[in-house]
């Protein structure tokens, strides 16, 4: 019989459907292996083509070249210029599209991916995330900063060059507001951060843990919305990704590479998204919310049921997923 | 410049990104046309193969054969048997997977789709939905009944034979709970059903309306989450799909066929999902909620931003989508 599980923090229910369950190895990506060149002259993010991506917002230099760069997205969903204007008229609740939409080119090399990058490089990427986050944090028009990565076509990217994106929105999205409210209720009821509680319980239960480092812990979610849905959570309670220290960045680079290498080698380089979920801007550290990074491999499709209920069906067992990923052998 | 719009009822914000906007005709499906046979001996839903789908829950007969049938899903996400049991232990919020998961075979013919079916046939399908809905409504283990259709591979189906599904869950999904609360707040503030209000405003604004019939109205949403995101809303206020009358079913069959024919001819038979959103079971008619049918063509992909914020980016203008669909010529 299948079962329903609820994520203690987000309150989302998922159906773990064992009737159609697959074994972890059945989720291996079947995409054709394509040998990519280290440099592609037609790629807008490759070195030499920087003039295609003007308005650089950050550059980590490397004799003559760069190691990490950020710049405005050419097809930005939101525009940097202008004041935030709101209109409420009949059913029209409207805001002009002010905000920030940037690309972070993660390395000059066209053919790498996080699992294969040197850990020092990942440290620079996370440092770039923090620098851009902190820079934007004080923009009074911005309510939320979302840093994310789309890897592979099924994850919504068309560009091969390793890159992440940042979108800063002039509103708090409804889903985020609802989650904050639920976390606040939990705090009111118990005096605890619900994410700290989840972390403590996962450490006790052990069976879904992938890896624990000095400052972070990574586990497949008890109520994983889809196969291999994984979080990386900082042990130190803070609601804002902007608070991450240098030491934590170094540690996080290691755990992020390790977890993504387990996906890369265990599931044959699957398409995936990751996203950093941080509290809305303003107001200092919130005791009831905790930032984290969520990784969602794109191995299945959503359909009418998910659209019509917001509830997911996961055709794999989180504990089996975790065991499988723990046993992946990562080449040195 | 792009703009942000909020759905008055669901409170969801969407970015209408005009920088990357496409014209409506650019969304035409590019899938290869495949001539399907009217009968496929290997199809489990085709006549003659009824023994592959045992436990029939409904049959609308037609001399010797059937016109519409429903039966348990062979790979059911939830199981019909057993009591609802709940476990709360540490972070584990758990329920056994009781519930109902059925398939509604919409016609014996393998190669049809709603846009091409005779309207009398669609009337029978909607009648079957209502019959199954009302039958399940009194099951005390059930909290919500979701009726949906997945059309085409990108919409999550692998079976060609025209069919819909019904899933009845033993919990109210979080997203549904949040929407009900927001609708209740609106009612408290204004004394009006927010969906009735939206309908009245859309009728006044005209520009997003696709078609209006005696009992229903269909429009592209002001804050459409994706291109051509459309609702069909009953004019009579009622929160439960189970309340639909025979006369309304007849009228709804016509409007559903008409709207889906606009998609079929205008966008070359796109993949789509539709879902009937109805209030949770029990407690009679709720004055603050209103049932409706939502149609989501699957023309774009979601990525890390949507995952990380619950907010969507729509690369088309709802008013342009509506104009395009209004102008589609449906062959007689």
Assign domain A3-21+39-326 to its CATH superfamily. HIT-like (3.30.428.10)
Mutate to test the interface with B, among A72, A91, A295 (most CBs of B within 10 A): A91
Quote the tokens at residue A270. 């699957």
pLDDT confidence of residue A291: 98
Confidence at B35, pLDDT banded by 50, 70, 90? confident
The pair of structure tokens assigned to A71 is 């710049």
Per-residue pLDDT at A169 exceeds 90:
yes
How many whole angstroms separate alpha carbon A227 and alpha carbon A319?
10
Q: Give the residue from chain A lying closest to B316, CA to CA.
A: A77
Whether chain B has a CB inside 8 Å of the CB on A196: the answer is no
Shortest Cα distance, chain A CAs vs residue B35, angstroms: 24
> Hey, is the C-beta of A30 within 8 angstroms of any chain B C-beta?
no
CA distance A63 to chain B (A): 33
Q: Is the dihedral of CA B301, B307, B310, B312 positive or negative?
A: negative
Flag whether residue B245 sits within 8 Å of chain A, measured between CB atoms.
Answer: no
SS3 B61: strand
**pLDDT for the residue numbered A57:** 98
Alpha-carbon distance of B104 to B135, in angstroms, equals 14
Q: Which two tokens stand for residue A12?
A: 């989302």
Whether chain B has a CB inside 8 Å of the CB on A261: the answer is no
Confidence of residue B310 (pLDDT cuts 50, 70, 90): very high
Q: ipTM of this model?
A: 0.94
Report the mean per-residue pLDDT for chain B: 95
Contact B114, B54 (CB under 8 A): no
Q: Would you call B303 and A155 a contact, using CB atoms and an 8 Å cutoff?
A: yes
Percent above pLDDT 70 for chain B: 100
pLDDT band with cut points at 50, 70 and 90 for residue A80: very high
Among A28-32, A80-84, A312-316, B77-81, name the one with the lowest average pLDDT. A28-32
Q: What is the DSSP string of A192-216?
A: S-HHHHHHHHHHHH-TTEEEE-SSE
CATH code that applies to domain B7-18+38-80+87-327: 3.30.428.10
Q: What is the pLDDT of residues B159-198, one digit of tens each?
A: 999 999 999 999 999 999 999 999 999 999 999 999 999 9
Task: With beta carbons less than 8 A apart as the criterion, state whether A20 and B75 touch.
Answer: yes
Answer whether residue B19 shows pLDDT above 80: no
Q: Chain A neighbours among B 102-141 (CB < 8 Å)?
A: none
Nearest to B183 by CA among B191, B194, B170, B196: B194
The answer to whether A221 and A277 have CB atoms below 8 angstroms apart is: no
Q: For the segment B43-97, what is each residue's pLDDT rounded down to a tens digit?
A: 999 999 999 999 999 999 998 899 999 999 999 999 999 999 999 998 899 999 9
A202 to chain B: closest CA residue: B91
User: What does the pLDDT look like over A3-15, one tens digit per residue?
Assistant: 999 999 999 999 9
Residue-wise over A93-131: b if at least 16 C-beta within 10 A, else e? bbbbbbbbbbbbbbbbbbbbbbbbbeeebbbbbbbbbbb
**B155 at A interface, C-beta within 8 A:** yes
Residue in A closest to B300 by C-alpha: A156
On whether B43 is known to bind a ligand per the annotation, the reply is yes
The residue among A31 and A145 whose pLDDT is bigger is: A145
Banded model confidence at residue A63, pLDDT cuts 50, 70, 90 = confident
Contacts of B15 in chain A (CB under 8 A): 77-78, 97, 169
Closest A-chain CA to B203: A91
The pLDDT value given to residue A29:
77
Rounded to a whole number of angstroms, the distance from the CA of B295 to the nearest CA of chain A is 9
- How confident is the model over A222-251, as a mean pLDDT? 97
Q: By the CB < 8 Å criterion, does A144 face chain B?
A: yes
Judging contacts by C-beta atoms under 8 Å, the chain A residues touching residue B77 are 2, 15, 17, 19-20, 305, 313
What does DSSP say about strands B13-16 and B312-314: parallel, antiparallel, or unpaired? parallel
* Residue B46 marked as a ligand binder: yes
**Strand partners for B233:** B217
| Per-domain residue ranges of chain B | 7-18+38-80+87-327
Query: Considering chain A, what percentage of its residues have pLDDT values greater than 90?
Result: 89
Using a CB–CB cutoff of 8 Å, tell me whether A169 touches chain B: yes
Confidence band (pLDDT; 50, 70, 90) for A113? very high
**pLDDT band at A215, cuts 50/70/90?**
very high
Distance from CA of B250 to the nearest CA of A (A): 24
Look at residue B231 in the predicted model and tell me its pLDDT.
98
Query: Distance between CA A265 and CA A268 in Å, rounded?
Result: 5
Whole-number pLDDT of residue A147: 98
Catalytic (active-site) positions of B: 163
- B229 appears as a binding residue in the annotation: no
Q: Which of A172-176, A318-322, B90-94, B108-112 has the weakest average pLDDT?
A: B90-94
Closest residue on chain B to A292 (Cα): B308
Global confidence as pTM = 0.95
> What is the spatial order of strands in the sheet that A86-89 belongs to?
A86-89, A92-96, B3-6, B13-16, B312-314
Is the CB of residue B197 less than 8 Å away from at least one CB of chain A? yes
Residues in A closer than 8 angstroms to B178, CB to CB, are 174, 178
User: Is any Cβ of chain B less than 8 angstroms from the Cβ of A11?
Assistant: yes
Per-residue pLDDT for B29 more than 90? Answer: no
The mean pLDDT of A234-248, rounded to a whole number, is: 97
H/E stretch holding B195 reads: helix B194-205
Task: Report chain A's mean pLDDT, rounded to a whole number.
Answer: 95
Burial of B87 (0-12, 13-18, 19+ CB in 10 A): exposed
The residue among B278, B308, B315 with the most chain A CBs within 10 A of its CB, best to mutate, is: B308
Q: Which residues of B are less than 8 Å from A304 in CB distance?
A: 148-150, 155-156, 165, 273-275
Indicate yes or no: CB of B20 within 8 angstroms of CB of A92. no
pLDDT at B30 over 80: no
Read off the pLDDT of residues B220-260 as tens digits, 9 standing for 90 and up: 999 999 999 999 999 999 999 999 999 999 999 999 999 99
SS3 content of chain A, % helix, strand, coil (to 5): 30, 25, 45
Query: At a CB cut-off of 8 Å and minimum separation 6, what does B327 contact?
Result: none
Of A173, A296, A311, the CB nearest to B311: A173
Q: Greater confidence, A22 or A97?
A: A97
Could you give phi then psi for residue A145, rounded to 5 degrees? Answer: -115, 125
């Amino acid at each position: 019989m299948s079962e329903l599980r609820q994520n203690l923090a987000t309150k989302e229910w998922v159906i773990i459907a064992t009737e159609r369950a697959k074994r972890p190895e059945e989720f291996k990506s079947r995409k054709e292996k394509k040998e990519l060149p280290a440099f592609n002259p037609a790629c807008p993010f490759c070195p030499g083509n920087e003039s295609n991506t003007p308005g650089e917002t950050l550059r980590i230099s490397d004799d003559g070249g760069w190691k990490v760069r950020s710049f405005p997205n050419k097809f930005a969903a939101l525009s940097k210029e202008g004041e935030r204007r709101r209109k409420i008229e009949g059913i029209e609740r409207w805001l002009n599209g002010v905000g920030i939409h940037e690309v972070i080119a993660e390395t000059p090399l066209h053919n790498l991916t996080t699992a294969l990058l040197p850990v020092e490089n990942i440290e620079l990427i996370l440092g770039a995330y923090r620098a851009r986050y902190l820079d934007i944090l004080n923009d009074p028009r911005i309510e939320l900063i979302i840093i994310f990565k789309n890897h592979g076509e099924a994850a919504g990217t068309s560009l091969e060059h390793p890159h992440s994106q940042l979108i800063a929105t002039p509103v708090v999205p409804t889903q985020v507001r609802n989650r904050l409210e639920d976390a606040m209720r939990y705090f009111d009821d118990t005096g605890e951060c619900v994410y700290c509680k989840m972390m403590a319980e996962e450490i006790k239960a052990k069976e879904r843990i992938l890896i624990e480092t000095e400052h972070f812990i990574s586990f497949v979610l008890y109520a994983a919305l889809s196969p291999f849905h994984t979080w990386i959570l900082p042990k130190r309670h803070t609601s804002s990704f902007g608070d991450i220290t240098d030491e934590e960045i170094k540690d996080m680079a290691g755990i992020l590479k390790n977890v993504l290498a387990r996906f890369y080698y265990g599931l044959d380089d699957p398409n995936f998204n990751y996203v950093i979920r941080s509290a809305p801007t303003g107001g200092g550290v919130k005791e009831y919310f905790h930032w984290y990074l969520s990784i969602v491999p794109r191995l299945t499709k959503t359909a009418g049921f998910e659209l019509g209920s917001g509830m997911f069906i996961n055709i794999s067992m989180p504990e089996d997923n975790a065991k499988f990923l723990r046993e992946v052998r990562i080449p040195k």
